[in-house]
Amino acid sequence: MFHTLSRLFCLSVAVTGLLSWSQFSFAAERDYISIVGSSTVYPFATVVAETFGRTTHFKTPKIESTGSGGGLKLFCEGVSLNTPDITNASRRIKKSEFDRCRANGVKEIVEVKIGYDGIVIANSIKAPRMKLTRRDIFLALAKNVPDPSGAERLVPNPYRTWKDVNPSLPAEKIEVLGPPPTSGTRDAFVELAMEGGAKTFPWIKTMKKKNKHHYKEICHTLREDGAYIEAGENDNLIVQKLEANPHRLGIFGFSFLDQNSDMIQGSLVDGVAPEFEAIADGSYPISRPLFFYVKKAHVGKVPGIPEYLREFTAEKTWGPDGYLADRGLIPMPDREREKFRHDALNLVPLEGI
C-alpha cells in the first residue's frame, strides 16, 4: 500500500514537472491559429476553419465562442503568442477598443467584413404570418412610448395586444421571446428595428440632435412588464418555444429561420419578408454586418494565417454560391467583396475608426 502511494506521489511530481517545463516551451510558439469572438460569427468561421484544416497541411484553427466584446478584449491584450490571432465580431470594433489595442502594442489590425446577418421576427407556421412595420415593433416593445393621444410626451407602454398597436394586426397578446442584453443580436435589434421605429415620430427624431442620451434611452429600452421575454442566448430554445406556443413571436438570427423553415415563418417587416435575396440587396431593414479582425503582428509567427484568409475570402466560400451562403450568411455585393478580399490578402491595416 505504501508503495502504491509513493508511486502516486512520484507521478504527481512528474505532472508538476511537466507543468513547469511546458511553461517555457509553449508560451513561445503555437502551430495552430487561435480565434476568439462573436457567437454569431462562430457558425460561419468554424466551417471555414474546418475546410481549411481538411484541405491544407495546416492544423485546424481553434475557435472560441466568447462574444464580440469578450473576443476584442482578449485580442487587444497584446502581441504575445498567448493572445489570439483573429477575433470575430458581429459589430464593428469600437473606438475605445481600437485605442486599447494600440495602447497594448496591437498597432496593425486588418479588418475583414464577411457578409450580413438578418435578424428575423418569427412565429409558428400554425399561426398566420405577421405583417409588421418597424413602428409597430417599437410601439409594441419599448418601455415608454409616445402618448396615444398624440401629445408629444412619453407614457409607460399601455398596449396589451397587437391590435392595440395597429388595428390591422390580430387581437393577440403581445409576447415576444428575444435575446438578453449581453447578446450582439439584441444590440443590433434595438439599433435597427426599435430605433428605426422610433424615428418615425418626428419629435423623437429631432431629439437625436438635442439630447442624444435621452434619445438612446427611449429607443433602446425594452419593456419589462412581461411582453418582452428574455429567452437566453440559445436560439434553438426560442424556436422550440415558438413551436409550442403559436401566439408568441421570437427574435433571432436568419440562419435559425433558414434551418427551421418547416416549423416557423419570418414576419414581414415594412412589407418585406426575411428572405435571402431581400436581406442581400438591403430591402429587408433589419440586417447587420459581420466582421473579423486579424493581428498583423502574428502573421509569419503563427503558421497558416495568410492561407486561412485566402480560404475565407475565396468566392467558393463567401460568394453568392459559396458554402457560407448555404449556412445562412448573406453575402456582400461584388464590389464590397472585392475590397475586403484585397484588404485581407494584402493585410491592409485599419487606419482609424
Partner 1 sequence: MNSTRITEKNTSELVRKGLKRRYRAERRFRFMGIAALCISVLFLVILFGSIISKGYSAFFQWKVRLNVFVDPARMDVDNLASADYAGAVKAALRREFPEIRKRREKRLLYRIVSIGASYQLRDMVMRDSSIIGSTVSFWAPLDDDVDIYLKGAYGKGSGRLKPLQVRIIEKFRQEGRIKKVFNTTFFTAGDSRDPELAGIRGAVTGSFYTLLVTLLLSFPIGVAAAVYLEEFARPGRWSDIIEVNINNLAAVPSIIFGLLGLAIFLNLFGLPRSSTLVGGLVLTLMTLPTIIIASRAALKSVPPSIREAALGVGASRMQTVFHHVLPLALPGMLTGTIIGMAQALGETAPLPMIGMVAFVADIPHGMTDPSAVLPVQIYLWADSPERAFVEKTSGAIMVLLAFLMAMNGTAVYLRKKFERKW
Q: Which of 182, 206, 211, 261 binds partner 1 (CB under 8 A)?
A: 261
Measured from the CB atom, the residue of 88 and 313 that comes closer to partner 1 is: 88
CB of 126 to partner 1, least distance (A): 13
Quick one: residue 284, left, alpha or beta (phi over 0 = left, psi -120 to 50 = alpha)?
beta
146: phi then psi, degrees, rounded to nearest 5: -60, 145
Which residues does 199 contact at the CB level (< 8 Å), separation at least 6?
Answer: 205, 208
Contact 68, 185 (CB under 8 A): no
Rounded (5°) CA angle 151-153-159 = 85
Q: Determine if 8 is a binding residue for partner 1 (CB under 8 A).
A: yes
**DSSP-assigned letter for residue 83:** S
CB of 35 to partner 1, least distance (A): 9
The piece of 55-63, 172-180, 183-191, 210-218 that touches partner 1 (CB under 8 A) is 55-63
Rounded (5°) CA angle 246-252-257 = 70
Q: Which of 199, 208, 241, 327 binds partner 1 (CB under 8 A)?
A: 327
Measured from the CB atom, the residue of 5 and 167 that comes closer to partner 1 is: 5
Q: Determine if 53 is a binding residue for partner 1 (CB under 8 A).
A: yes
Measured from the CB atom, the residue of 60 and 104 that comes closer to partner 1 is: 60
Rounded (5°) CA angle 111-274-203 = 80
Binding pattern for the stretch 79-118 against partner 1, x by CB under 8 A and - elsewhere: ---x------------------------------------
Neighbours of 26 (CB within 10 A): 11
Strands 144-146 and 154-156: antiparallel
Binders of partner 1 among residues 193 to 212 (CB under 8 A) are: none
Q: Which of 209, 226, 244, 321 binds partner 1 (CB under 8 A)?
A: 321
Q: Determine if 12 is a binding residue for partner 1 (CB under 8 A).
A: yes
Measured from the CB atom, the residue of 39 and 267 that comes closer to partner 1 is: 39
Which residues does 267 contact at the CB level (< 8 Å), separation at least 6?
Answer: 120, 121, 122, 123, 129, 130, 131, 132, 249, 274
Measured from the CB atom, the residue of 147 and 326 that comes closer to partner 1 is: 326
Q: Determine if 314 is a binding residue for partner 1 (CB under 8 A).
A: no
Measured from the CB atom, the residue of 33 and 130 that comes closer to partner 1 is: 33
Q: Which of 30, 102, 163, 199 binds partner 1 (CB under 8 A)?
A: 30
- What CA–CA distance (Å, rounded) separates 119 from 103? 35
Measured from the CB atom, the residue of 250 and 253 that comes closer to partner 1 is: 253
Q: Determine if 244 is a binding residue for partner 1 (CB under 8 A).
A: no
CB of 213 to partner 1, least distance (A): 33
**DSSP-assigned letter for residue 61:** P
Q: How far is CA 64 from the centre of its chain?
A: 14
Quick one: residue 175, left, alpha or beta (phi over 0 = left, psi -120 to 50 = alpha)?
beta
Which parts of this chain interact with partner 1 (CB under 8 A)? 1-2, 5, 8-9, 11-12, 15-16, 18-19, 22-23, 26-27, 30, 32, 34, 36, 39, 42-43, 46-47, 49-50, 53-57, 59-60, 62-66, 82, 233-236, 253, 255-256, 258-262, 321, 326-328
